[in-house]
Chain A
């Protein structure tokens, strides 16, 4: 849900131009999550609950710090804690704030069959408009990051909005405001990349030679990016996809095959119509009836039925 509607670049299940008269003066935005600064305090989770007025069900402790253990329709961001024993034998506690990555090429939007249920704004935010959601779950199949969750109560899909309502009026997302260590920062994507480059240089100077920015090109880049100590092994961070892209299967299902299949079905129907126009009915006439009668008579008499002498060539 969002306040603006003049700056849409993509809209699900829509084949005509989007209302896009307004362009963001500063360019697309991005959230930068610096995993190297994160202390796992979950203030961002609380801020998300508070701003979006969401209260998840109280669950049970599953033996790790992840709480809740997974994203849900009411928990749009979750800290994921991973224990990694590095080659030196030291334990590294890798904490990643999980949630929607706001892909430049969003798989959810590509898969969605309901017009306007998913939109992408010119500032890069990918937003669900739940009043248009039909609950089919195609967005889940389309998402390369396993983010959308369908509510068990209302059967609509929910995920992080990147606080599109706050960003629309010049505020930063709620989670950014709550972060006590500066692990979360928000600004234009350009600025965030510059900031990330400084962080990466700093990390490299302190021995993290593989430090880097996670802005995966397979989905056209994302509007939520990570600074990782081990950018060469994103999977260490609770299974962050090393090379995310829209699945080839989803591409086939929702790509060129759609218009081709539609055209082929229309052509099949048209082929029937023109066959009728050019060739016409296959009819039986009196000669067939006569032949059949002779066949019946022959059967009554017990004679074998030969070929119909009146058979047309």
Chain B
């Protein structure tokens, strides 16, 4: 592994970003497990992880709020890099090339690819939906301020948003396993130059240009 040690690395995520990401991940896992326990009888046993059904229903809204609060700084830090551009839609249209590892056929990717940007959009929309519907459903503090029809609508919306978010995060987690080096990037912060070159070439150019400001971007 001597050449690996000698190989230069590129920093992709700083310690702050990594900490932030994993706090959100922790919040998501706990919120999803406690929420799923209340969603389907087949998963009610998950409530044991939180002490009991009653503890699950007490804790779930607070866990959700925790996830949302820690998501805010993460969202702010990656917001600008996640704006959808025409090339991202093209990337998404070439879905088949993406899943079959034919990356050379895809448009060049910046710091985030179309899939990552779509995921970010889904997370933002779903978390907003979960927050609003969750507050309406929060029996202990807020439900009494809302009419029953709105509580019913919120209950359905909450389940739909959670379902979409859980599916999206399952894809996100798998993608991190699938694209080798991604998990390391989020755990230790660095990627190899080859990784950046292959998966995020426009970003690679941008950072090499920034490191050598005499050069102009092509």
Interface residues of A (CB under 8 A from B): 13-15, 111, 113-115, 132-138, 140-141, 146, 150, 155, 247, 249-250, 252-253, 257-259, 261-262, 264-265, 268-269, 272, 275-276, 279-293, 295-296, 298-306, 308, 311-313
> In angstroms, how far is the closest chain A Cβ from the Cβ of B75?
23
Task: Give B1-15 as 1s and 0s: 1 = Cβ < 8 Å from A's Cβ atoms.
Answer: 000000110000000
Q: Which residues does chain A contribute within 8 Å of B44, judged by CB atoms?
A: 13, 113-115
Q: Roughly how many angstroms separate A135 CA and B58 CA in the complex, as a whole number?
A: 8
Interface bracket on B:
35 or more
> In angstroms, how far is the closest chain B Cβ from the Cβ of A218?
16
Q: Roughly how many angstroms separate A258 CA and B152 CA in the complex, as a whole number?
A: 15
Prevailing SS type, chain B contact patch: helix
Q: Roughly how many angstroms separate A311 CA and B52 CA in the complex, as a whole number?
A: 56
Given the contacts A265-B166, A299-B215, A146 and B57 also touching, CB distance less than 8 Å? no
Top 9 closest pairs, chain A to chain B, by CB: A137-B139, A272-B174, A288-B194, A292-B193, A289-B194, A292-B197, A134-B53, A13-B41, A304-B218
Query: Is B143 an interface position by the 8 A CB rule?
Result: yes
Contact indicator A284/B198 (Cβ below 8 Å): yes
Contact indicator B139/A115 (Cβ below 8 Å): no
Contact indicator B155/A253 (Cβ below 8 Å): yes
Q: Contact partner of B192 among A133, A138, A284, A311, CB < 8 A?
A: A284
Task: Give B142-157 as 1s and 0s: 1 = Cβ < 8 Å from A's Cβ atoms.
Answer: 0100001101110110
> In angstroms, how far is the closest chain A Cβ from the Cβ of B177?
7
> In angstroms, how far is the closest chain A Cβ from the Cβ of B104?
6
Given the contacts A134-B53, A135-B140, A282 and B215 also touching, CB distance less than 8 Å? no
Q: Roughly how many angstroms separate A291 CA and B34 CA in the complex, as a whole number?
A: 47
Contact indicator B156/A249 (Cβ below 8 Å): yes
Q: Which residues does chain B contribute within 8 Å of A296, judged by CB atoms?
A: 8, 193, 208
> In angstroms, how far is the closest chain B Cβ from the Cβ of A192?
29
Q: Which residues does chain B contribute within 8 Å of A249, judged by CB atoms?
A: 149, 152-153, 155-156
Q: Contact partner of B180 among A150, A279, A283, A313, CB < 8 A?
A: A283
Interface centre among A132, A137, A150, A299 (most CB of B within 10 A): A299
